[in-house]
Amino acid sequence: MNFVTSSSTLLHHLQSISGALSTNTKLPILDNFLFKVEGQKLTIVATDLETTMITHFEVQSEGSGSMAIPAKLLLEVLKNLPDQPCSFRINMESYAVEIAYDNGKSKMIGFNSNEFPKLPAANYSSSIEVSGELLSSAISKTLFAVGTDEMRPTMTGVLCEFSPENITFVATDAHKLVRYRRTDISTSSSSSFILPKKPLNLLKGNIRGEEQVRIEYNESNATFTFSDLTLVCRLIDGKYPNYEAVIPKENPNVLTVERGQFHNSLRRVAIFSNKTTHQVLLKLAGSELQLSAEDMDFSSEANERLTCNYLGSDMTIAFNARPLVEMLSILETESIQLSMSEPSRAGLITPFENKNANEHILMLVMPVMLPR
């Protein structure tokens, strides 16, 4: 099995799927890429058993076959080569892999492809096609809110809900929640699944925005196909929390403020907050918003004032600055609204103006309880 390809093209494809490689495995074969040549087409696979990525492209080849090739070694060779043709000569009996290039060659030993895990059978009951722009936006606006508590496995992924009215993506860690909804696409029937964090990061890193993404799924697996890539992953099993139940419906106190100013002010004031609670106090009255933080342990404090539009009763409410800063950095609108009912209940952040009428984003942040 021999083939010739550009070093930069091969490196690009390997880097696209290398994130699927296992970082801590007891199966040595998972430290390899599976190379498979059929006709003039090269297919490369990387997997950690839970998540698999596949890429393919055209090469000049002689013969066909498959071989597992050490991933780390191959990537290091290609990273240190200028763009040039690389000739791969693979001995199917001894598993010897020789890579020849302009000023030399490298040799390594591969493994029998039969040892490489087989892909799960693709018996999918449902499918949908979405734009790369939609999926990329949904992931980037929800991923930061995913939980890390392994005792609550369903909250360590993003809930993807499909219905005849819209599609919705939800992430929460019990302290913050994001609901991203799009009404410009729908499905004939209702269904949902929970997507783990690793495939979400891989999709985020590979989707460019202009492509179409085909999503096929059943109760246990999902496949995403776009451009020259395929991602197959195992879904998180379990029932997602009833997120609608925790979103306050009555929020008479509404703050409207310029997002950039609020974001920058919050970041500055948060520097002086307690290093454990990261608590920042928001005092709302009329057209003025006061932000303050203090760290009693170091006798440090900060106060800032912003002009705003506030409708409601005078209120003092405290938040952990970290999720608030993250939310403001992810939103792209000029102004935001913070809707609240009382200091002990969650605040809701929404864009004041929507650039896309079909995009609806709601972010929930729990307050820090103030001593009475």
pLDDT tens digits, one per residue of 123-154: 888 999 999 999 999 999 999 999 999 999 99
Residue 22 has a pLDDT of 86
- Residue 148: how many CB atoms within 10 A of its CB? 9
Residue 238 has a pLDDT of 95
Residue 206 has a pLDDT of 96
Q: What is the mean pLDDT of residues 62-88?
A: 95
- The one-letter amino acid code at 168 reads T
Residue 23 has a pLDDT of 81
**DSSP letters of 201-231?**
HHHHHH--SSSEEEEEE-SSEEEEEETTEEE
Q: What is the mean pLDDT of residues 177-188?
A: 94
All structural domains of the chain with their residue ranges: 2-115, 126-171+181-243, 247-368
Q: What is the mean pLDDT of residues 360-371?
A: 90
Query: Dihedral of the CA atoms 142, 188, 199, 21 (nearest 10)?
Result: -170
- Residue 233: how many CB atoms within 10 A of its CB? 26
pLDDT tens digits, one per residue of 209-224: 889 999 999 999 999 9
Residue 103 has a pLDDT of 86
- SS3 state of residue 251: coil
- Of 20-24, 230-234, 243-247, 313-317, the one with minimum mean pLDDT is 20-24
Say which residues have a Cβ less than 8 Å from residue 95's Cβ, sequence separation at least 6: 67, 109, 110, 111, 112
- SS3 state of residue 337: strand
Residue 371 has a pLDDT of 66
Query: Percentage of the chain surpassing pLDDT 70?
Result: 99
Judge whether residue 107 has pLDDT over 90.
yes
Judge whether residue 121 has pLDDT over 80.
no
Tell me which fold the domain 247-368 belongs to.
Answer: DNA Polymerase III; Chain A, domain 2 (3.10.150)
Label residue 350 exposed, middle or buried (CB < 10 Å: 0-12, 13-18, 19+): middle
- The CATH number that domain 126-171+181-243 falls under is 3.10.150.10
- The CATH number that domain 2-115 falls under is 3.10.150.10
What pTM was computed for the model? Answer: 0.92
